[in-house]
Amino acid sequence: MPVPPTHVLVISLLLFAVGMLGVLTRRNAIIILMSIELMMNAANLNLVAFSRQLDNIVGQVFGVFTIAVAAGEVAVGLAVVLALFRNRDTLQVDDVRILKG
Amino acid sequence: MSAAAVVFYVLAALAVTSAVMVIASRNAIHSAIYLVLSFLSMAGLYVLLEAEFVAVVQVLVYAGGIMVLFLFVIMLVNLRDAQALRIRVHGTLSAAVGILAAGLILYTYSRGRIPPATGPSVLREGGNLQRVGEALLTQALLPFEIASILLLVAMVGAIVLARKPSD
């Protein structure tokens, strides 16, 4: 491992925080999906780092599963975005508030 | 500091910077391009952490498949009212909570003593791909099959959601 494990954790924390900032502040549905991908990547980096740290291959297997789940999530999420745009003609999540009580 | 460490920090800085550009840029296409850059830097980090298979899957699935999907959808929809990142801090309370949480996490990191991995990893015996493949088809066989079902369901769901409503 070229760097101390704590540094990898801090990098992963930074990436996760950037993704969370994007989800919380951007109002465009596509950018929100991209930010979710950033957060999943940050979690993946932790898994791979601890796989190396603990000499345990399961972390990398988990990382592969995370990527598979992310692929499915992005496909469904973008289909929802397309359906939203077709029905409401907008991508701003502030404009979509049918379920808001 | 070894050469690998220098490369690691450079790639990490690139990944974080392009992640910031993803959420800060006004144009969605620019966000997608910066997202590719972030994903590729992350793949480099995986290589340095000796997870070559995860790095290859990252490039194939994320930088290949997912980005094409994003670009297609961006081109299909019409983004006229794209707006840049606006951070509206509601009082000092949210800033205080954020700084407090970050300080707590960093304090925990600095207190925790994770010993650095020393010596060559046993994960490399026979090659990373072989080790991951063995684990996938023995230890994680059931989750592996469930993942394929999940992908099938996601595929069918995406098609049902995105097709034109036919009457």
pLDDT tens digits for range B107-149: 888 887 777 666 666 666 777 888 888 889 998 999 999 999 9
Average predicted confidence (pLDDT) for chain A: 89
Rounded Cα–Cα distance for residues B68 and B70 (Å)? 5
Residues written for chain A: 101
Domain ranges within chain A, ordered by starting residue: 5-94
Query: Is residue B81 scored above 60 in pLDDT?
Result: no
DSSP element (H, E) containing A44: helix A29-54
Per the listing, tokens 């291959």 go with: A57
Domain ranges within chain B, ordered by starting residue: 1-79, 122-167
Please choose, from the candidates A64, A88, A7, the residue with its C-alpha nearest in 3D space to the C-alpha of residue B140. Answer: A64
pLDDT band at A32 (very low <50, low <70, confident <90, very high): very high
Percent of chain B at pLDDT above 70? 84
Better-predicted residue by pLDDT, B12 or A97: B12
Average predicted confidence (pLDDT) for chain B: 85
Q: What is the pLDDT of residues B27-64, one digit of tens each?
A: 888 999 999 999 999 999 999 998 899 999 999 999 88
Rounded Cα–Cα distance for residues B149 and B143 (Å)? 10
Q: Is B12 exposed, middle or buried (0-12, 13-18, 19+ CB in 10 A)?
A: buried
Q: What is the pLDDT of residue B82?
A: 60
Better-predicted residue by pLDDT, B90 or B132: B132
Give me the mean pLDDT over the A3-28 stretch.
88
Cβ contact, residue pair A30, B74, below 8 Å = yes
Cβ contact, residue pair A76, B161, below 8 Å = yes
Q: What is the pLDDT of residue A93?
A: 83
This prediction has a pTM of 0.87
Interface test with B, best of A13, A23, A30 (most B CBs within 10 A): A30
Pick the CATH number of A5-94 from 3.50.50.60, 3.40.50.1470, 1.10.287.3510, 1.10.3720.10: 1.10.287.3510
- Find the helix packing angle between A29-54 and A58-88, rounded to 10°: 180
Percent of chain A at pLDDT above 70? 99
Cβ contact, residue pair A31, B48, below 8 Å = no
> Min CA distance, A23 vs chain B (Å)?
9
Residues 6+ apart with CB under 8 A from B5: A2, A3
Of A7, A19, A64, the CB nearest to B54: A64
Q: Does domain B1-79 sit in CATH 1.20.120.1200?
A: yes
Contact B31, B22 (CB under 8 A): yes
User: What radius of gyration, in Å, describes the C-alpha atoms of chain A?
Assistant: 17
Cβ contact, residue pair A60, B87, below 8 Å = no
User: Which residues on B lie below 8 Å from A78 (Cβ)?
Assistant: 69-70, 73, 158, 162
Q: What is the pLDDT of residues A73-87, one digit of tens each?
A: 999 999 999 988 888
Q: What is the pLDDT of residue B54?
A: 93
Q: Chain A residue closest to B9 (CA)?
A: A3
pLDDT band at B86 (very low <50, low <70, confident <90, very high): low
> Min CA distance, A101 vs chain B (Å)?
23
Q: Chain A residue closest to B75 (CA)?
A: A82
Of A48, A65, A83, the CB nearest to B51: A48
Check CB contact of B141 with chain A, cutoff 8 Å. Answer: no
